[in-house]
Amino acid sequence: MIQPQPHDLQPAPTRDERARQEFVSGLRRHVLIRLAGNMRGEYGDEVVPAFEREHGRAPADGPEVHRAMRGSRAFRFYSAVRTNAQEMVFASVIPGVERRIAELADQARGLREDAERAGGSLTLDPDLEVPRNVTEIDVHLAPGSYHAEYGDDDVAAGAVYDHSINVFAFGQFGRELDDIGQTMSNYIRLKYPDFRPERILDCGCTIGHNTLPWARSFPDAEVHGIDVAPGVLRYASARAKSLGVPVHFRQMDATKLDYPDASFDVVFSSMFLHELPLRDIRAFFAEARRVLKPGGVLWNMELPPNSRMAPYESFYLDWDSYYNNEPFYKPFRDQDYRDLCTGAGFAAEDFIEATLPRYSFVGEAAFREGVDEPALFDSQTGRMDPKGTRWYGFGAWKKA
């Protein structure tokens, strides 16, 4: 069953809309397990043998697998049903948000202005030009993308984002949709016990769901979250207030950070880089290095790089780039991530990466055992799989 969100900003779905959300969530799960399994089976049983007969070898990389798979029955049905499921995620959530759009805006404003609640702040920049990679594409088929505003103090884009990923994730993002943030922040805490960050910055934070765990993992640190979209930030700030976690949210472009040099100990991002054109990734990394204090770390949760994945897994993860309005996803995954870091001035030997079990699913004891394991790239890496998922992280330390 879809877990109710643990904060005050609730849309108003009818019982039928809730039932529809349950169906769509179940459909997503079914597609990613059953139909994905069928597709993998058809690849091994039919597509590879046919390819080998023609070429004398198996497909060598993701694009070759993609070309070989495109005509297969399992691929067509997986892709078509997954596309419908994606569209239906948003369709199941939007009416309930729309019905409460004015109340949600009022409620969010009330939470933000409530002096009794945890600290934190919201600073918007009406002059900020929202980049074209956000405005010109309805990213992962989200109608209106996630930057649009529908009135004064509007939070609709944030509410749609929050509740749609809850339907989308079928429980795989954890109770507060924050497992990625929990996993990535607790990794830094447990792997580097002497590292005591005082200031932490989350870039491209949307509704702050993966920002808040940093404030919980490092309760003495000052945590900031930035995004280019105002509606999600208003929502993020109200959501954080509702959950009692102090975070400073600012509307800012990660490629042009309005922070002084050497002002953060951690610069974090999650599921952010793959939404950016390569030049913006490079600009962000240069900015991250600039604002990091010596001895600080850039740490990104992302999809694993194609160069480390078997051809089929590479194809499987790149599906989104071809079919889910994610044009920058494959160009990013085709990069050497260490080169992205050294290109911004980090030293090659200061590069770090890890593949991690989900902290909120396995618990601290089991998680702690895994923090020194070498990165492992297989069919569970970077994929939402109820049987076991490993999130991938990479980045670099800035020399002290």
Q: Which residues bind another protein (CB under 8 A)?
A: 15-16, 19-20, 22-24, 26-27, 75-77, 79-81, 83-85, 87-88, 90-91, 94, 97-98, 101-102, 105, 137-138, 141-144, 148, 150-152, 154, 156, 160, 323, 325
Q: How far is the CB of 63 from another protein (least distance, A)?
A: 17
Q: How far is the CB of 144 from another protein (least distance, A)?
A: 4
Q: How far is the CB of 23 from another protein (least distance, A)?
A: 4
Of the two residues 22 and 258, which places its CB atom closer to another protein in the complex?
22
Strand partners, 129: none
Return the residue matching tokens 């980045």: 395
Of the two residues 157 and 291, which places its CB atom closer to another protein in the complex?
157
Of the two residues 79 and 217, which places its CB atom closer to another protein in the complex?
79
Nearest to 186 by CA among 397, 384, 360: 360
Indicate the residue type of 95: P
Q: How far is the CB of 154 from another protein (least distance, A)?
A: 8
- CA–CA distance, 349 with 169 (Å, rounded to integer): 36
Q: How far is the CB of 155 from another protein (least distance, A)?
A: 12
Q: How far is the CB of 124 from another protein (least distance, A)?
A: 18
Of the two residues 40 and 117, which places its CB atom closer to another protein in the complex?
40
Return the residue matching tokens 């911004």: 344
Question: Exposed, middle or buried, 47 (CB in 10 Å: 0-12/13-18/19+)?
Answer: buried
Question: Exposed, middle or buried, 178 (CB in 10 Å: 0-12/13-18/19+)?
Answer: buried
Q: Which ranges constitute the DSSP H helices of the chain?
A: 15-30, 36-42, 48-55, 62-69, 73-99, 101-113, 132-135, 156-168, 179-191, 212-217, 230-243, 278-291, 311-323, 329-333, 337-343, 359-370
Of the two residues 195 and 323, which places its CB atom closer to another protein in the complex?
323
Q: How far is CA 86 from CA 70, 164, 355, 363, in A?
A: 20, 10, 26, 30
Q: How far is CA 122 from CA 10, 215, 337, 398, in A?
A: 20, 16, 32, 29
Of the two residues 164 and 300, which places its CB atom closer to another protein in the complex?
164
Question: Exposed, middle or buried, 16 (CB in 10 Å: 0-12/13-18/19+)?
Answer: exposed
Q: How far is the CB of 217 from another protein (least distance, A)?
A: 35
- CA–CA distance, 129 with 88 (Å, rounded to integer): 30
Q: How far is the CB of 195 from another protein (least distance, A)?
A: 41
- CA–CA distance, 165 with 151 (Å, rounded to integer): 23
Of the two residues 218 and 315, which places its CB atom closer to another protein in the complex?
315
Of the two residues 167 and 226, which places its CB atom closer to another protein in the complex?
167
